[in-house]
A and B are shown apart, each in its own frame.
Chain A
Amino acid sequence: KQEVTQIPAALSVPEGENLVLNCSFTDSAIYNLQWFRQDPGKGLTSLLLIQSSQREQTSGRLNASLDKSSGRSTLYIAASQPGDSATYLCAVNNSSNTGKLIFGQGTTLQVKP
């Protein structure tokens, strides 16, 4: 059974810092992995999607890496801003047929001005 874990659960950094969020999964036979952002009381916004054959994806100040063999992914946020404050969720898709996503518990990020 696939399990997804995110560390740390919460993180507080001053504005401008670069930071790394971690995600690990127990079953390396994944189809793809996604990073989402969730603002309080809101739905999910997809940030980056990495296919199992890819090593990383970049969008603006965000870079996500995937090491399938070790069951790890990281989300790197460069030059953090207060507007980056949110909960970041990692989700693994084991099957393209079902499309089911298994989510980690999330990392709640606070960027202080």
Chain B
Amino acid sequence: GAVVSQHPSRVICKSGTSVKIECRSLDFQATTMFWYRQFPKKSLMLMATSNEGSKATYEQGVEKDKFLINHASLTLSTLTVTSAHPEDSSFYICSGRTGGQPQHFGDGTRLSIL
């Protein structure tokens, strides 16, 4: 149980385009979803926390206009990287949890901006 599906698993696009990543909780209602970014051989850095129906709370140093997060339902959150540039290339991972339960992680999205 407690499966989180993240799509796409990999995306390659040109500089200047916007990219949307979806995160779905398949068998539970994710009242809270988290978005992380991971650089090569580095740890996960929390970007933002979103609660269903509310605006996302961004961590210090994360541009909210650059990384748009929507959590419109209890099973879906999206991260849109707007006007992506090569420095936005990274591995993005989402997770969801219900209530005070532990987080369940998606398989990540490898984003490459050319």
Contact = CB atoms under 8 A, between A and B. Distances in A.
Chain B interface main SS type: strand
B97 A99 contact: yes
Given A104-B43, A106-B43, A34 B102 contact: yes
B46 interface: yes
Contacts of A46: 102, 104-105
Interface residues of B, number: 24
B61 interface: no
Contacts, number: 53
B7 to A, nearest CB: 12
Nearest to B108: A43
Interface string B93-106: 10101001011111
Interface in B35-85: 41-46, 49
Given A34-B102, A43-B105, A89-B44, 16 more contacts: A41-B91, A41-B110, A42-B108, A44-B93, A46-B104, A91-B44, A98-B49, A99-B49, A99-B97, A99-B100, A100-B34, A100-B49, A101-B34, A101-B44, A101-B103, A102-B46
